[in-house]
Structure 1
């Protein structure tokens, strides 16, 4: 597939083509209108001239010589050809008509007529009437060449004016294209500043057509920054944990006077390594959080059913119930691993602290997806809930009794631009509601 052309160049090219097509249509439509108006004007003044000539003849009843003189005077005055046919069959005409075309005029019916005369076409009006008690006809003809000069001048004037208008139109198209695409130049400048580290986000104040793109790019930048910050914190934590654990164990193993280690030292080292292993697993699970990604979907109902199956084996005495009106194949734009980790931690937390039952409710709302996990345990106090909900909660800052899972859940929700609310369930236990918004 060939690379797309420049938008500016493409817009100007299409603008030029459409302008030429428009110019051509205007030119030919103008020619048609001028011809129609010209024909109508000629019909009117020919009718007027013929009526005047007819009125004079009927009023004066001239002789044949008088008619010839009248024809000559009218032709000199108007520049037209006049043909009179008397009832006796005589045909009178002046010098403006080729007599070889006479038969073509005589044979024409009454009304407006066209007669070919050399390179010109004669346009005229033929009418019959009664003069001095005798039937006769009169025809007034004018050459189309004489009148065609005026439409030609009008065409040339239109052509010149249209050329000027076309140039102005192309200039306007170029200016409009430049102004329309100016925001793209600002976006390019923002990207350059972003690459150079002078700014951390793209300016959201762009035309409406670019807002979804800029919003998604900013979301990706924010997600990337959160991941980078998380990995930096994790690396720092891991370095500290490993160094502390190794230092403690080395201190015991390096003391030659106490070798071999006592039972208490062995128990301490084993406990130290178990805590290190637990902390490493926790921090590695946080490192695996993907966050919102375009093009990734999962099936919340199906994943929840799978997680419940696992939890029923871990907590055989607990009843896990799923409530939803959504079909099993309902999909949602979220990384599958994130949702599975989120549900696993919530259900594990509910299984640990419930008395008998954990209810999971999944619903589609106008703003996104709602997931509620409620149990019938002792519940969560507002003070504990506020502490757990703090962003950046570390391992040693997690509220006792709620394990490490809710901190992971909080980070997953944050990375997916959602909300996490804690409260009391209808059974008096804890209720944790996750709201995941629709992507823009």
Structure 2
């Protein structure tokens, strides 16, 4: 086990204090001329050497005692950014038990995340089978001339399926690992999503454009960034009259995504409500109302921010800010 930090601090204090007392004693002898002739000079030299040596030794012991603690900050940062799974290194006796307990907590958390992820996945997949059977029953009811009943069943099943998918998504986010451990190049992801949206909404002839700064890298997993931007773009395309623009740029140590559309927009009092889980302003619009809630989950997970406001194009503007990193070389 590492030596005690307490004992080393006490030793450093004793050495420092001893050196200081030796120097003070020397000064007192010189001031009162207690030693005659050359004895005073010899005593001054010896006292100076002894006192200075003790003070230097005390300072060195104190500095070396704190060296392991200086490295602890780097180890904790390494764990939080995903570079390490545990806090490594040997620490003073007073600190090592705390480090050991923290490592046990990290191990327990990792196991709990894996169990929760597996349980959520099992539950969601177990629900999907009966939901699929209900859709089949709805088709049979429609064939039998019960169109209203079939439409009601289909609507409810689709809502339930959307909720199941969201729970799967949340479980995946929770199990995605420490924040900051991943890097994703933004431009290829944005270009791919814009191409997909053009195909999905080809019947409406929307002008969907991307204005992205080159070499921007976000501290987000690629699949999470695709989920986040995909939901924002899909929502904008559903409400836009003719044009959607996604703008991406780096500002300091953050990446800023702005999605604008020229649709009807949202009044100020409705912007907060639409971010709540499952809330929709127009029940006739396509979708389950979970898109922006999923975006919120992702943004909160990555400790970012999301703002809804009026777009420069007259519709809704959504601004999302997350962390960034240096492009890989």
Are 1:369 and 1:438, in contact at CA under 8 Å, matched by a contact in 2? yes
TM-score for both structures, normalised by structure 1:
0.46
1:235-255 per-residue CA deviation (whole Å, 9 max, x = no partner) reads: 798599679969x97xx9xxx
Pairing partner for 1:320 from 190, 203, 208:
208
Residue 164 of structure 2 is matched in structure 1 by 280
Relative distance call for 1:235 and 1:375 in structure 2 (3 A) is same
Whole-Å separation in 2 of the counterparts to 1:241 and 1:172: 66
Q: Contact 2:218–2:323 (CA<8 Å) still a contact in 1?
A: no
1:334: how far off?
2.0
Whole-angstrom CA distance in 1 between matches of 2:195 and 2:300: 27
Aligned counterpart for 2:229 among listed residues 330, 343, 367: 343
Unaligned runs of 5+ in 2: 13-36, 73-91
Which residues of structure 1 form unaligned runs of 5+?
Answer: 16-149, 198-216, 253-259
Relative to structure 1, the CA distance from residue 297 to residue 367 in structure 2 (aligned partners, 3 Å threshold; closer, same or farther) is closer
Match for residue 427 of structure 1? 313
Relative contact order higher in (CA < 8 Å, ≥ 6 apart): 2
Q: Which has the larger radius of gyration?
A: 1
Q: Provide the aligned length of Structure 1 versus Structure 2.
A: 256
Deviation at 1:337, TM superposition (A): 1.3
Match in the other structure for 1:375 = 261
Residues 334 and 381 (structure 1), Cα distance of their counterparts in 2 relative to 1, 3 Å cut = same
Give the secondary-structure state (helix, strand or coil) at the position aligned to 1:283.
helix
RMSD: 4.9
Aligned position for 2:220: 334
For the Cα contact (< 8 Å) 1:292–1:415, is it kept in 2?
no
- Once the two structures are TM-superposed, the CA of residue 314 in structure 1 deviates from its matched residue by 0.5
1:174 corresponds in structure 2 to 61
**Deviations for 1:161-203, whole angstroms, at most 9, x for unmatched residues?**
5345424432343245446767866865655665788xxxxxx
Specify the SS of the correspondent of 1:279.
helix
Secondary structure of the structure 2 residue equivalent to 1:296: coil
Q: TM-score, normalised by structure 2?
A: 0.59
Distance (Å, rounded) in 2 between the aligned partners of 1:409 and 1:302 = 20
1:3-47: CA deviation from partner (whole Å, max 9, x where unpaired): xx9998xx99xx9xxxxxxxxxxxxxxxxxxxxxxxxxxxxxxxx
Give the C-alpha shift of residue 369 in structure 1.
1.5
For the 8 Å contact 1:241–1:276, the answer to whether it is kept is: no
Matched residues in 1 for 2:261 and 2:318: separation?
A: 9
Residue 273 of structure 1 deviates from its aligned partner by: 5.2
Query: Are 2:291 and 1:405 aligned?
Result: yes
